[in-house]
């Protein structure tokens, strides 16, 4: 009976993708691949009741997932891996096509993709060569509410990458995409530090609820650059 049901759900997906499948049906189908020979509908509904939405489920921690009846190690690993796979796909797709400094939309998408599903603050450095092509990136991982980049290490990384222009970016996992006072002051310091080494800081992106903000493109902060 369950095999026939699974086959029908798969055929529904093949016929129309996820367009006509609600969150419960999507989760039910995902669980096919980590919970064999069992009706996964109750587990899918329990996940939605607990975390509120498909995105809430995929952003849950492994421990929170495993605390639920019917969700074991395989299901917890599979569900928590999905956002990370999406992140790698999205950033990989952009960089494989070459990312250029003057393509604001592509750079913004790359930054947004880099912070996808991250629960801790992360600071990124994007290095561009003399032609404006992205050549290297550096990532500093912090705690949930803060990250402290090392100026000297980042400058050294930029020099070793032969960067002519750089962009810095960080995320506010539980906040809005708006610069704090510390963000503004650190941007000023980075502009000066890079300039002293013949490197231009082109922008500071901040990712948060609602998207990604470019400080250079925001009138209030554009004079920093």
Neighbouring-strand partners of residue 136: 127
Q: Does residue 95 carry a pLDDT above 80?
A: no
Same structural domain, 51 and 132: no
- What number is the average pLDDT over the span 12-34? 94
Residue 209 lies in a domain: yes
Same structural domain, 81 and 105: no
Q: What is the pLDDT of residues 150-160, one digit of tens each?
A: 999 999 999 99
Domain end call among 37, 63, 87: 87
| CATH number, domain with residue 185 | 3.40.140.10
Same structural domain, 65 and 126: no
Residue 61: what are its φ and ψ, rounded to 5°? -80, 155
Q: What is the pLDDT of residues 59-84, one digit of tens each?
A: 899 999 999 999 999 999 999 999 98
Same structural domain, 117 and 34: no
| CATH number, domain with residue 23 | 1.10.150
Sign for the CA dihedral angle at 67, 71, 77, 82 comes to negative
Instruction: Report strand pairing: 200-209 vs 165-176.
Output: parallel
Same structural domain, 128 and 201: yes
Residue 94 lies in a domain: no
pLDDT at 209: 84
pLDDT at 96: 57
Q: What is the pLDDT of residues 98-127, one digit of tens each?
A: 899 999 999 999 999 999 888 899 999 999
Same structural domain, 115 and 216: yes
Same structural domain, 160 and 194: yes
**Of 13-17, 143-147, 152-156, 219-223, which range is least confident?**
143-147
Same structural domain, 44 and 135: no
Residue 74 lies in a domain: yes
Residue 93 lies in a domain: no
Q: What is the pLDDT of residues 39-65, one digit of tens each?
A: 999 999 999 999 999 999 998 999 999
Higher pLDDT, 143 or 74: 74
Domain end call among 38, 56, 87: 87
Residue 28 lies in a domain: yes
**Of 96-105, 126-135, 177-186, which range is least confident?**
96-105
b/e per residue 26-58 (b: at least 16 CB within 10 A): bbbbbbeebbeeeebbebbeebbeebeebeebb
Residue 167's nearest CA partner among 121, 134, 196 is 134
pLDDT at 21: 94
pLDDT at 116: 87
Other beta carbons less than 10 A from residue 153's beta carbon: 12
Let me know: does 102 contact 81? Beta carbons within 8 Å.
no
Look up the domain containing 112 and give its range.
100-224
Based on the number of CB atoms within 10 Å of its own CB, is 210 exposed (0-12), middle (13-18) or buried (19 or more)?
A: exposed
Same structural domain, 148 and 105: yes
Same structural domain, 64 and 135: no
Same structural domain, 66 and 157: no
Residue 158 lies in a domain: yes
Residue 169's nearest CA partner among 114, 99, 92 is 114
pTM above 0.85, yes or no: no
Same structural domain, 110 and 44: no
Domain end call among 52, 87, 122: 87
- Number of structural domains (the chain) is 2
Residue 95 lies in a domain: no
Let me know: does 201 contact 225? Beta carbons within 8 Å.
yes
Residue 92 lies in a domain: no
pLDDT at 92: 79
């Amino acid at each position: 009976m369950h095999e026939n049901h699974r086959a029908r759900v798969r055929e529904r997906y093949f016929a129309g993708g996820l367009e006509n499948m609600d969150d419960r049906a999507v989760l039910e189908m995902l669980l096919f691949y980590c919970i064999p020979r069992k009706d996964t509908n109750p587990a899918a509904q329990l996940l939605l009741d607990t975390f509120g939405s498909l995105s809430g489920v995929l952003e849950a921690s492994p421990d929170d997932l495993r605390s639920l009846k019917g969700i074991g190690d395989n299901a917890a690993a599979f569900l928590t891996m999905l956002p990370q796979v999406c992140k790698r796909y999205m950033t990989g797709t952009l960089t494989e096509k070459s990312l250029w400094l003057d393509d604001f939309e592509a750079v913004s998408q790359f930054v947004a993709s880099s912070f996808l599903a991250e629960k801790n603050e992360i600071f990124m450095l994007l290095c561009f060569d003399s032609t404006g092509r992205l050549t290297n990136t550096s990532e500093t991982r912090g705690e949930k509410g803060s990250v402290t980049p090392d100026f000297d290490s980042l400058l050294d990384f930029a020099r070793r990458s032969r960067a002519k222009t750089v962009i810095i970016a960080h995320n506010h996992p539980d906040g809005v995409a708006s610069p704090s006072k510390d963000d503004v002051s650190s941007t000023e310091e980075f502009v000066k530090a890079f300039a002293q080494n013949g490197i231009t800081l082109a922008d500071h992106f901040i990712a948060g609820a609602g998207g990604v903000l470019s400080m250079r493109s925001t009138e209030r902060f554009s004079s920093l650059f």
